[in-house]
Amino acid sequence: YFYARRAGCSWTGVGDGLVIVSTLGIFFGRIANFINGELYGRVTSAAVGMKFPKELLESEDDFYNAMREA
């Protein structure tokens, strides 16, 4: 409201712009969560369910730290 008043535009126009930007941010955040496998739900046997592979490799940081200390 204060920005719209100072800039001389309507507060509804500023609100519409904020809604569009917020929606895009939430959309890309959800896509990133899906790619990382961070969205959890109930176990299902339906054909539309997702199966994420388990991690194949452990973090190599522990290996490198052990080699540095040895």
Give dist(CA 37, CA 18) in Å, integer.
28
Tokens 């490799």 correspond to: 57
Task: Return the closest-CA partner of residue 1 out of 15, 19, 22.
Answer: 15
Tally of helices (H runs) and strands (E runs) in the chain = 3, 0
pLDDT, mean over the chain: 80
User: Taking a C-beta distance cutoff of 8 angstroms, is the pair 14, 4 a contact?
Assistant: yes
| Whole-structure pTM value | 0.52
Q: Does 28 have pLDDT greater than 90?
A: yes
Q: Does 69 have pLDDT greater than 90?
A: no
